[in-house]
Amino acid sequence: MNRILIVRLSALGDIVHAMPVLSALLRQWPAAQVDWLVEEAYAPILSLAAGLHRRVIVRGRTGRETADSISFAGALGLARAAVHLRSQRYDAALDLQGLIKSAVWARLSGARRVIGFDRAHLREPYAALLYTETVVPQEAPHVIQKNLSILKALQVESGVLSAGALAKAVSRTDSTAIDLPLNPIAGASATDAMAAAGGVRRYVVLNPGAAWPNKRWPADRFGALAVALLERQGLRSLVTWGPSERELAAAVCRESSGAAQPAPPTSIADLAVLMRDAALVVSGDTGPLHIAAAMGAPIVGLYGPTWPERNGPWDPDDEVISRANACVCHHKRQCLRGAPCIDDIAIGEVIDAAERRLAKARRA
């Protein structure tokens, strides 16, 4: 197997959860050319993927080519992207997204084999009509294991999701452990962020934002958490934020009585550094939480409409507080109740979980 295309266009956390597929492919075929088709908004996370040959970026603002990526912009750019993909003569295209648009791209690649999951396991079942082969994923709770199931079609050993294996970047020579193929990283803004935290070496990252409103724990409780962690643990907090979330971060800081400060604008690499070096990360189910898990940061995850068994951190030492069992809007962006179920998570629960996780990290 010489040339393989991975199709996972979005979103940030989903791409992190798909990266072990790249690692398994490279473990099986170290010399293979593995490319990744991705939308521009999420392409930066793949700059951290060691061994990836090229990012093929669609829906870009401008068409450009670098050593590790090629981007296509506009309607004409999409046609050019299809031509480029076909010129690569892929042996296989793996659609890990399961949407009609991702299946179309996999098919347009001209790959000899176009592989996806069977229609019963697709968000858009008609996508299966565009595959040359389908795979029934293994019955496993975590989405990482589902993604790895696609490798059965290529007779690739996917490995076992063992305690902390991803977070600790287990050697690829260990065929039983799943790892993330991470490049060495350096974030220019990370130093600024630590200075913002008063120059302290240990700090907590609070990530209050999420694309889904019902995945956001209230800002005033994040602020109260920052106060408690400073008073009880001597830890100051940095509040991370993304596009359109600056005011949310400011609201958390206003509620924190000076215990929290906003992080500076961060690139993906900066964010990964901040997460890697944090004493603790507290976040809802969103991309930064999954980056934190990939970097091995101690985590407290807050879950409302999604299942932590499927999308949660994979280190058994991490703490998860979930209201999924009581949720009436599973995997829906808008809550069907007057107040999102994540609001039912009390500040005391999170303080207790944070202190338990910090204690486990000290013993590690």
Give the residue among 280, 294, 101, 98 at the shortest CA–CA distance from 206.
280
CATH number of 190-363: 3.40.50.2000
pTM summary value: 0.90
Tell me how far CA of residue 165 lies from CA of 34, 170, 295, in angstroms.
Answer: 23, 6, 11
* Domain segments of the chain as ranges: 3-154, 190-363
The whole-number pLDDT of residue 167 equals 44
178 Cβ neighbours under 8 A, 6+ residues apart: 20, 23, 24, 144, 148, 158, 159, 160, 161, 162, 165, 166, 170
The whole-number pLDDT of residue 147 equals 94
183 phi and psi angles, rounded to 5 deg: -75, 160
| Structure-token pair, residue 309 | 């068994």
191 Cβ neighbours under 8 A, 6+ residues apart: none
The sheet with strand 319-322 has its strands ordered as 260-262, 236-239, 203-207, 280-284, 299-303, 319-322
Along the 364 residues of the chain, how does pLDDT read in single tens digits? 999 999 999 999 999 999 999 999 999 999 999 999 999 999 999 988 999 999 999 986 667 888 889 999 888 888 999 999 999 999 999 999 999 999 999 999 999 999 999 999 999 999 999 999 999 998 878 899 999 999 999 999 876 554 444 444 333 334 334 567 777 776 656 666 666 666 667 899 999 999 999 999 999 999 999 999 999 999 999 999 999 999 999 999 999 999 999 998 888 888 998 999 999 999 999 999 999 998 889 999 999 999 999 999 988 899 999 998 887 677 666 777 778 899 999 999 999 999 999 999 999 8
The whole-number pLDDT of residue 175 equals 38
The single-letter code of the amino acid at 85 is: L
The whole-number pLDDT of residue 192 equals 66
Protein fold of 3-154: Rossmann fold (3.40.50)
Chain centroid offset of residue 223 CA:
25
The whole-number pLDDT of residue 74 equals 83
The whole-number pLDDT of residue 73 equals 86
Residue 46 in contact with residue 36, Cβ under 8 Å? yes
Residue 196 in contact with residue 261, Cβ under 8 Å? yes
Give the residue among 1, 51, 31 at the shortest CA–CA distance from 156.
1
